[in-house]
Amino acid sequence: MTARTTRPLPTGTSRSSARRRLAAVGALAVAGSLLLTACGDQTDGGGEKGGGDTKAKTSQAPLFDKLPEKIRSAGVIKVGSDIAYAPVEFYDENDQVAGIDPDLADALEKQLGVEFEFTNGTFDQLVLGMNSGRFDIVMSAMTDTKERQQGASEDAQGGADFVDYFRAGSAILVKKGNPEGITSLDDLCGRTVALQRGTANEDLAEAQNKKCDKPIKILAFEKDTEALLQVKQGRAVADINDYPVAAYNAKTSGGGKDFEVVGEQIDAAPYGIAVSKKNTELRDAIKAALDAIIDNGEYQKVLEKWDVTDAGVEEAVVNGGK
């Protein structure tokens, strides 16, 4: 998905966001027997939600009938996400899952009649977790690419279909004041750069390396927070990051005194909600729900809340990545 200051959020917590937080922290030690009864097996996607079937089967949500029977019976869509990527998804000051993706999930719940239950995971293992049955979908600022669709990238074992819902490019984040004078990818040649492993930003740095006389030394980390720390402590001259995430960190980290974004947004591409290629029924239901919230204005409200309206799309697209 953060070692940064987040802007204040409403303190009220909805029932669905509270349940997402319960899933994210995995409260097995506190309520093992209850979890087994209520949520089923969290490792293989099996089981049903005890006591939830009647409500789920009688839901009046407009797109409920488009969901697979297993999802309707469970009353929940299990979401894999790397929850350390503000403003897309992160833990707020109340330790609740917050951000663009969780807010969009709240809007999708109204259309589909089931809850979206976020579980924290390592970014480059999320598609594998989905394809092994741990998650139903992935919502994690994941760029839709042909390599991920086909399972050709290291973080997309087995491949996935993507329902594209957002567009964002990469950005270069440097220390406030830009002491190294970085203005473009070319200025990173021969320098040390930090980034998150398994992302499109790592691919971008590797591609830039082919153009450099002196190669970029790439420090790749499991979490973007670790990459940010390298820049803050002077061990890397820049972090290559998704543009909305870079802009958010420049605005909020250290009260806006830690970082700044330099240069233009690079290679804007779609974020997609990943769904197993074997689960086309769920994929199509999510696409229909996204189109519905775009049409009814709920999608626009989320983008306005997080100041990312420029990244919006007019309709959801399946596998639009290149």
Residues 6+ apart with CB under 8 A from 120: 1, 24, 25, 81, 82, 83
Mean pLDDT (whole number) for 245-264: 95
The reported pLDDT for the residue numbered 27 is 39
- 3-state SS string over 137-159? EECCCCECCHHHHHCCCCCCCCC
Cβ atoms of residues 289 and 165 within 8 Å = no
Rounded Cα–Cα distance for residues 48 and 15 (Å): 19
Provide the pLDDT for residue 49.
35
Q: Do the bridges between strand 238-242 and strand 161-175 make them parallel or antiparallel, or are there none, so unpaired?
A: antiparallel
Q: What pTM, to 2 d.p., does this model score?
A: 0.76
Region 82-91: what's the mean pLDDT?
A: 96
DSSP of 65-130, one letter per residue?
A: GGS-HHHHHHTEEEEEE---BTTTBEE-TTS-EESHHHHHHHHHHHHHSSEEEEEE--GGGHHHHH
Domains and CATH numbers, the chain: 15-167+270-318 (3.40.190.10), 170-268 (3.40.190.10)
Nearest to 174 by CA among 263, 260, 264: 260
Q: What is residue 153's predicted lDDT score, i.e. its pLDDT? A: 67
Please provide the average confidence, as pLDDT, over all residues in the chain. Answer: 85
pLDDT of residue 138: 98
Residues, the chain, total?
322
Place of tokens 């990459």: 227
pLDDT band of residue 155 (cuts 50, 70, 90) is low
* Contacting residues for 221 by C-beta, under 8 A, at least 6 apart: 194, 195, 196, 197, 227, 230
For residue range 272-309, list pLDDT tens digits in order: 999 999 999 999 999 999 999 999 999 999 999 998 99
Q: What is residue 52's predicted lDDT score, i.e. its pLDDT?
A: 42
- Report the amino acid identity of residue 234: G
Closest CA to 305 of 83, 98, 14, 143: 98
* Rounded distance between C-alpha atoms, residue 70 and residue 233, angstroms: 48
